[in-house]
Amino acid sequence: MAKTKKISINAMDKVVKSSHTPFTEIEWNGLNVTVKYTLTFKEMLEFVDSVTKTCFTSSTNTYMPEAKGFAIKSNILEKYTNFTLPNNLEHRYEMIYCTNIIDTVLEHINTQQYSEIINAIDDKIENIAQANIEYMNKQFSELYTAFENFQKHTEEMFNGINSDKVMDVMKTLINDGLDETKLVNAYMSHKGNADA
């Protein structure tokens, strides 16, 4: 089979320039809105990262599915359009959900890229949630092991000491007052008697 000639980068650049429209100007409720058709690679990564981080609390890393839709819509306006969004979340929420701006913008963007962005967000959220579950399981396992070790150590420490001896130690503490030296001496004294 004959070797095919590679298509040059310059040739592909010409195709992109001739067939790709980077921006569309639309009129929406008397406003001139600029809509970007396709996000750059960097913008796409920022979109996915922003939405994913918004879906998890910073303090406990708890997943909040209720934040996902709002975060996606905020990023649509921030990344694809020339809208300036307010920092106040209530105000931003009202602008997004009390108008049809999102549906209008979605009609003018690269739907294949947008679909891949949404899939990437879902995959990343699932990955983080799974990692959180595994981390919690590890923490519980370590806690259980530590408790078992403590229980074993406690049993070994009091092995051979009967309840009468423990009561004698407690009486000494109550009568003489709590003192580290007296406590150790009382324990060693009763431990020695138990070993004898």
Tokens matching residue 86: 């307010």
Q: Which residues of 70-102 are buried (b: 16+ CB within 10 A; e: fewer)?
A: bbbbbbbbebbbebebeeeeeebeebbeeeebb
Which amino acid would we find at residue 38? T
Using only C-alpha atoms, what is the Rg of the chain? 34
Cα–Cα dist 46/54, whole Å: 12
CB atoms within 10 A of CB 167: 10
* Helix intervals (H) in the chain: 9-19, 41-54, 68-80, 89-97, 101-106, 111-157, 163-176, 180-195
Profile the chain (196 residues) by mean pLDDT over runs of 10 residues: 82 83 93 97 97 90 92 98 96 97 97 97 90 64 66 65 66 64 64 56
Instruction: Tell me the C-alpha to C-alpha distance, in Å, between residue 56 and each of 50, 60, 92, 114, 138.
Output: 11, 8, 19, 22, 20
Q: Give tens-digit pLDDT for 102-145.
A: 999 999 999 999 999 999 999 999 988 887 666 666 666 666 66
- Specify the pLDDT at position 125: 92
Cα–Cα dist 49/66, whole Å: 17
**Any idea what the Cα angle at residue 47 is, between residues 69 and 114, rounded to 5°?**
75
- Specify the pLDDT at position 178: 57
Cα–Cα dist 36/108, whole Å: 8
Q: Is the whole model's pTM more than 0.85, yes or no?
A: no
